Amino acid sequence: MIAEECVYERPTGLTAAHTHYCPGCTHGIAHRLTAEALEELGILERTIGVASVGCSVFAYNYIACDFVGAAHGRAPAVATGLKRVLPDRIIFTYQGDGDLASIGLGEVLHAAARGEQITVIFINNAIYGMTGGQMAPTSPPGMVTTSSPGGRDPQRTGYPVRVCELVAQMDGAAYVARRSLHNPAEIRRAKKALRTAFECQMNGRGFALVELLSTCPTNWGMTPVDALHWVEERMIPVFPLGEFKGGER
Partner 1 sequence: MVRGRIIVDTERCKGCGLCVAFCPKGVVHLAASLNAAGHHPAQLRDPDGKCTGCTICALVCPEAAITVYRTFSVKASVSAGGVCALEAAS
Partner 2 sequence: MARELLKGNEAIAEAAIRAGLDAYFGYPITPQTELLEYLARRMPELSRAFVQAESEVAAINMVYGAACAGKRVMTSSSGPGISLMQEGLSYIAGAELPAVVVDVMRGGPGLGNIAACQSDYFQMTRSAGHGDFRPLTLAPATVQEAIDLTGLAFDLAEQYRMLVILLIDGNLGQMMEPAELPSFRQNVSATPEWAVDGAEGRPQRIITSLYLQPEALERHNLNLQKKLAIIAEREQRFAGLYLEDADLIVVAFGSAARVAQNAVEAARARGMAVGLFRPITLSPFPMHALAHLAPRARAFLAVEMNAGQMVEDVRLAVAGRAPVRFYGRLGGVEMLPDEVLRAIEQAMRDTRVTTNGARILNAEVRR
DSSP readout, 76-121?
A: HHHHHHHHHH-TTSEEEEEEEHIIIIIITHHHHHHHHHHT-S-EEE
Question: Which range of residues in 19-27, 41-49, 168-176, 201-209 is near partner 1 by CB under 8 A?
Answer: 19-27
Using CB under 8 A as the binding rule, whether residue 175 contacts partner 2 is answered as no
Give the whole-angstrom CA distance, residue 127 versus residue 131. 9
- Using CB under 8 A, which residues numbered 169 to 228 contact partner 1? 183-184, 187-188, 217, 223-225, 228
Kindly give, in sequence order, each residue whose CB lies less than 8 Å from that of residue 217, ignoring residues fewer than 6 positions away: 22, 23, 24, 25, 223, 224, 226, 227
Using CB under 8 A as the binding rule, whether residue 39 contacts partner 2 is answered as no
Min CB(5)–partner 1 separation in Å: 6
State the binding partner of 51 from partner 1, partner 2, none, CB within 5 to 8 A by kind. partner 2
SS3 178: strand
Give the H or E element holding residue 183.
none
Using CB under 8 A as the binding rule, whether residue 56 contacts partner 2 is answered as no
Min CB(4)–partner 2 separation in Å: 32
Using CB under 8 A as the binding rule, whether residue 15 contacts partner 2 is answered as yes
Q: Which is nearer to partner 1, 25 or 51 (by Cβ)?
A: 25
Please list the residues that pair with 49 across neighbouring strands: 67, 92
Using CB under 8 A as the binding rule, whether residue 86 contacts partner 1 is answered as no
CB atoms within 10 A of CB 5: 4
Query: Which residues here bind partner 1, judged by CB under 8 A?
Result: 1-11, 14, 18-19, 21-29, 31-32, 183-184, 187-188, 217, 223-225, 228
